[in-house]
Amino acid sequence: MLKTGTILIQFVFILLIVFTYAFFEEEKNFDYYLSIIVVLQFLWQTVDIYTKKGTVMSVIFLFLLAAFLFNGGEFMVKIFNPRTFVLMEPIQDESIRKKALLLIALSFSFIYFGAISFLRKPTSSTILELKQKDILIFRRIGLTLLLISIGFQFDYLFKTLKVAMESGYYSIYSLEKGVGVNAIPKILRDFYVPSILILFWCDVKLKKKTSGIWIILLFFYSIMLFMIGYRGHAIMPILGFAFLYDKQYRKINTKKVAIIGLFFLFVVFPLIKNFRNAPESATVGDLVKYTIESVQEMAILREMGGSAKTVGYTMELVPIVRDYDYGTGYLWATTSLLPNFFNEEVHPAITHANYAQWLTREINPWAAETGGGVGFSFIAEAYINFAYFGLIFLFFLGRSLVKLEKLADTKSIYIIVLSCFLSFFLMYSRGQFLDMTRSFVWYSLGPYLLFLFFRRNSPQLIYK
């Protein structure tokens, strides 16, 4: 498909979204027709990306998929339940609800609009590989990070699983969260996934048989998180690994990925939810029955798509309860890279950029006191910083994601950096920028910068 044609089609979808908002006043008609447009737009974007890339293992598609599921899952439910299901039902103000749905729908459009704008430039057809001696340096860094993190990670996993099994899933939110020096174990254990991805990448390049060990360790980590109930956090490292595998080892079969993805979405995820919420007296048969009912009711899409309500809550409160931040929220979030040198009891990044915590205190104070939350959304964060001009920020977000992947396609070592980032970044679709800054700098760029540091005393890096 010609790039000009792609831009035109995306522009038509934007016009249809705005037209639906302007001319359909009745709740049922507006919800239903907007849902059809948003779902068709996502399907078209998926086909367009696959046509251009030849795979769905691309940064822009994975992010759009996560964004759609967490912020637009309810649109899919509405199509199959047009009479009974109401989009963003907790939002009582009808005017705010419609504006929030409009913002969400346009957000998907502007993200891809930004992506299209950069895809118009020519791409490089070659990828530069590292010499063996440099891969060995990077492998030692990965092994060191694994040795540092594995003890803290396994200790956390087994302790958290024990609490979840004994007291229920929601009890894990009452676990003490370390701050300051007490946060060091969490900081170190989060190097676990990047270290495994690095070791797998290096061993594939070196043609070592030990590459299978790292796959086992990665899937063990994800299985443990599934057992605890952390479904989103469990699947993200697998997606990061799949991206790396597709880019550097062997192309992943798209049909198989789709089948596995649907199985996890409609069977595994509901089963885990029912297991963690089931009463002690529940039998295996009860869990299977609840899971079948969940699939029939598309309950997982209702649950995952619930992040959309945080956009509505935010629009209800801003600028009435608090003013727009005019971009300073993103700036404060970057200060989380530094220790608390600001002579404040609480790090200013938490004070000024932790929107999820702020929204929970406003909407559900009890959940805030017990360590729970109502979640958040990158769309709500863009709105709280720039109002509707946040769509421009999302335009450049889409552009940046494509640019990052194009950069990664020039050198193989960049691909592993991007894979490490993806294993954290996809949660941004239901989170906030504050949660991503450390993930990018410490766990993605960090190992790469260590590599550059340790090769300084070696001859200049030579590419094949």
pLDDT digits (tens, 9 = 90+) for 383-436: 999 999 999 999 999 999 999 998 888 888 999 999 999 999 999 999 999 989
Q: Do 93 and 207 belong together in one domain? A: no
Whether residue 84 is contained in a domain is answered as yes
Instruction: Domain count for the chain, please give it.
Output: 2
Indicate whether 111 and 260 sit together in one domain.
no
Segments forming the whole domain that contains residue 287: 132-304+413-424
Q: Is residue 312 part of a domain?
A: no
Query: 177: closest CA among 347, 307, 328?
Result: 347
Query: Are residues 169 and 86 part of one domain?
Result: no
Residues 245-284: pLDDT tens digits?
A: 998 888 888 888 888 888 888 777 777 766 666 665 556 6
User: What is the rounded CA–CA span in Å between residue 7 and residue 5?
Assistant: 5
Q: Are residues 85 and 185 in the same domain?
A: no
CA–CA gap between residue 294 and residue 300 (Å, rounded): 7
Block residue for tokens 């199509």? 79
- Examine the domain organization and report whether 299 and 269 are in the same domain: yes
**Which residue reads 């999302």 in tokens?**
394
For residue 229, is it within any domain? yes
Does residue 128 contact residue 412 with C-beta atoms inside 8 Å? yes
Examine the domain organization and report whether 81 and 148 are in the same domain: no
Shared-domain flag, residues 136 and 254: yes
187 falls in which pLDDT band (50, 70, 90)? confident
Q: Which residues contact 107 (CB under 8 A, 6 or more apart)?
A: 67, 71, 379, 382, 391, 394
- How distant, in Å, are the alpha carbons of 12, 25, 89, 131, 328 from that of 29? 20, 8, 15, 60, 38
Per-residue pLDDT at 282: 58
Residues 85 and 144 both lie in one domain: no
pLDDT grade for 13, boundaries at 50, 70 and 90: very high
342 CB contacts (<8 Å, ≥6 apart)?
335, 348
Same domain for 178 and 99, yes or no, is no
The more confidently predicted of residues 170 and 406 is 406
Of the residues 66, 92, 119, the one at which a domain ends: 119
Question: Looking at the structure, do residues 205 and 243 belong to the same domain, yes or no?
Answer: yes
Domain boundary among 119, 150, 180: 119
Place of tokens 């509707």: 388
Q: Which of 119, 149, 177 is the last residue of a domain?
A: 119
Q: What angle do CA 308, 309, 313 make, to 5 degrees?
A: 130
For residue 22, tell me if it sits in a domain. Answer: yes
151 belongs to a structural domain: yes
- The DSSP 8-state label assigned to residue 442 in this structure reads I
| Residues 147 and 86 both lie in one domain | no
Written as one string, the DSSP assignment of 249-269 is T-PPPHHHHHHHHHHIIIIIH
Which pTM does this prediction carry? 0.90
Containing 141, the helix (H) or strand (E) segment is: helix 132-167
On the question of pLDDT at 219 being above 70, the answer is yes
Question: 19 and 77 share a domain?
Answer: yes
Residues in the chain: 464
